[in-house]
Structure 1
Amino acid sequence: MKSVAILLTVHNRKEKTYKCLNSVYKNIEKITEYDFDVYLTDDGSTDGTYTMVKENFSKVKVIKGNGNLFWCRGMYVAWKEACNTKDYDYYIWLNDDVELFDESLENGIKLCNKVNNYAIITGAFRSKKNGDLTYGAKFIDDKKVGPNGKLQEIQIFFGNFIVVPNNVVKKIGIIDPTYKHAYGDNDYSLRALKNNIKVYLMPEYVGYCEAHSYTEKYMDPKQSVKNRFKALYSPVYTPHDAFVYNYRYFSLFKALRIVLQLHIITLFPRLKNKK
């Protein structure tokens, strides 16, 4: 029987984590031809997430973090633990703020089979409130892509729902812990393309996920200059990671330009708001 590792990293979103895991196990219960294990990095949650997971989803393999891993490094820890445990046939990333539709897991794996298990499959999400696309995929020019009923070749995905077959892992490795929080998902998609591995968006929506509507603190004019720079250099969004990502996949000029723009926006956030 082929094996699948589902990977998550969570922090203080107990109710969302519960809904996500509940939808995961509803999917798993209906699948008989694959063996599933769930690896979850709990990065220092203080809201009872760990206890909730243990009481309601006892089969989940929980790895405890100290609160300094953030999303990308948390996913790295979960993925590394899975790789050290077993040579899985598939690795599936999930964000804990998603609720999967029935059969989404099975459909993602089937599509991997369809492309000979040598491509990455990603899924799109819509809002439960209005049905609009919230997270899908995009091209390098930032053009967003949503489901159209067909398997679409795309360039950049987000880490909400990703199916990575073991053949791809053997070729390009796992997510890069150089990044703390952001960019790790985008980096992995472009690394795949750089190695002639295609990335596809599934034909239909795979679940619900609400869009993040908050303004980043580093561009919030209501914040003091000191607080804006503190936010800019926080692990959530750091010029270092922005530089590494843009230098790797675009150019030194673009990397320097992006970092300069980040600092200008932090100093003068109203310039960003005028665009």
Structure 2
Amino acid sequence: MLFIVIPVFNRWAFTEACLHSLRQQTHADFRVIVVDDGSTDGTGQRLRHDFPEVEVVDGTGQLFWTAGVNAGIRQALRQGADRILTLNNDVVAAPDFVARMLYWAQRLPTALLGPLELDAHTQEPVYGGEVFSWLTHRRQDLLQTLAPEQRQGLHPVTYLPGRGLLIPVAVFAAIGLFDEKRLPHYLADFDFTSMARRHGFPVYVNYDAHLLTYPEESGQEQTRRHRSLRGYYQHLFGIRGGGNLRNFTHFALKNCPTPLVPLFLLNGYARRLTGYFLH
């Protein structure tokens, strides 16, 4: 059984649209667990009233993304899940999204899969995976290297985000859950998928499965939209900071090849210290 796990905190309009899109799936044999981490906008009550088929797990208000996802995964595993799909609430799944993800999952049962992401407003592709160089700290964006006729099927990548990530349960048995202690919010998904790949689980973007996203709604984009010294501090040290130096250090020490760690850290620190004001 496939379980879909969605961590939420407020922003009911996004959660509602996401869950409606799941109701419209052509393949409906799955269960949904929403982890409501102390929402104050009535999300918990609306979930139980408007979506009675959804199981709600209540959080403490301090789970953030990683612990929230883990809470939902633990609940799914207790109920016998054989695959888990982590999903953010600010996405809308195409009607055949689940079917197209499971099509490849059944053919490659040990693979982790992520979708091609489209801008919800323009329908243009915005994220199609990356191949990352630990030596140069550069990302090869597959959307820039693949010709339009190649944008189908599976393409191997270095890591995947968690906003539409299909995971076979064998991965959890091999490497555990997401690292909520060292990576409470950002980078936990890249860390988890990188570790899974090193343990022999292939990692692919599935260009046949489409997920509509709102790039401008990410925490990093909102912080950079109104740049300030306070925002800069949050960027570097806040739990939701996209450039959090502590999180980056943990990610580097866990995933970068050992001989490249010093250079990788220096490069990464420089990018994070200057990138907030340059991009």
Which TM-score tier does this pair reach, normalised by the shorter chain? 0.7 to 0.9
Cα distance in 1, alignment partners of residues 247 and 161 from structure 2? 16
1:26 aligns with 24
Cα distance in 1, alignment partners of residues 239 and 87 from structure 2? 20
Q: Please, what TM-score do these two structures have when normalized by structure 1? A: 0.85
Stretches of 4+ aligned residues off by more than 3 angstroms:
213-217, 219-222
Which stretch shows the higher mean deviation, 73-82 or 226-235?
226-235
1:86 aligns with 79
1:200 aligns with 204
Q: Specify the SS of the correspondent of 1:99.
A: strand
Q: Is the 8 A contact 2:197 2:203 kept in 1?
A: yes
1:69 aligns with 63
1:248 corresponds, among 254, 257, 261, to: 254
Q: Does 1:7 pair with 2:16? A: no
Q: Is the 8 A contact 2:117 2:212 kept in 1?
A: yes
1:184 aligns with 188
Q: Does 1:143 pair with 2:140? A: yes
Cα distance in 2, alignment partners of residues 104 and 191 from structure 1? 25
Cα distance in 2, alignment partners of residues 221 and 26 from structure 1? 37
Q: How does 1:32-43 map to 2 (within 5 A)?
A: 34=29, 36-43=30-37
Amino acid at match of 2:37: D
Q: How does 1:121-270 map to 2 (within 5 A)?
A: 121-140=113-132, 141-146=138-143, 148-178=151-181, 179-212=183-216, 215=221, 217=223, 222-224=227-229, 226-237=230-241, 238-250=244-256, 251-254=260-263, 256-257=265-266, 260-261=269-270, 264-265=273-274, 270=277
Which stretch shows the higher mean deviation, 231-240 or 180-189?
231-240
Post-superposition offset of 1:74: 1.1
Deviations along 1:179-216, whole A, 9 cap, x unmatched?
11100110111111111111111132412112136646
Relative to structure 1, the CA distance from residue 260 to residue 120 in structure 2 (aligned partners, 3 Å threshold; closer, same or farther) is closer
Q: Specify the SS of the correspondent of 1:157.
A: coil
Cα distance in 2, alignment partners of residues 110 and 17 from structure 1? 26
Post-superposition offset of 1:256: 3.6
1:104 corresponds, among 83, 94, 97, to: 97
2:47 aligns with 53
Deviations along 1:77-100, whole A, 9 cap, x unmatched?
1112222x2221111111111111
Q: Is the 8 A contact 2:7 2:37 kept in 1?
A: yes
Cα distance in 2, alignment partners of residues 19 and 5 from structure 1? 18
Cα distance in 2, alignment partners of residues 68 and 190 from structure 1? 26
Q: Is the 8 A contact 1:242 1:255 kept in 2?
A: no
Post-superposition offset of 1:243: 0.4
Deviations along 1:38-81, whole A, 9 cap, x unmatched?
11111121111111211111121211123221112211111122
Relative to structure 1, the CA distance from residue 229 to residue 81 in structure 2 (aligned partners, 3 Å threshold; closer, same or farther) is same
Q: Specify the SS of the correspondent of 1:206.
A: strand
Q: Is the 8 A contact 2:216 2:222 kept in 1?
A: no
Q: Is the 8 A contact 1:135 1:158 kept in 2?
A: no
Q: Please, what TM-score do these two structures have when normalized by structure 2? A: 0.84
Post-superposition offset of 1:252: 3.2
User: Percent same amino acid among aligned pairs?
Assistant: 20
- Give the number of aligned pairs: 260
Q: Specify the SS of the correspondent of 2:215.
A: coil
Cα distance in 2, alignment partners of residues 200 and 78 from structure 1? 23
Amino acid at match of 1:89: D
| Structure 2 spans left out of the alignment, 5+ residues | 133-137, 144-149
Q: Is the 8 A contact 1:122 1:157 kept in 2?
A: yes
Which stretch shows the higher mean deviation, 156-165 or 126-135?
126-135
Q: Specify the SS of the correspondent of 1:212.
A: helix
> What RMSD in Å do the two structures reach over aligned CA positions?
2.4
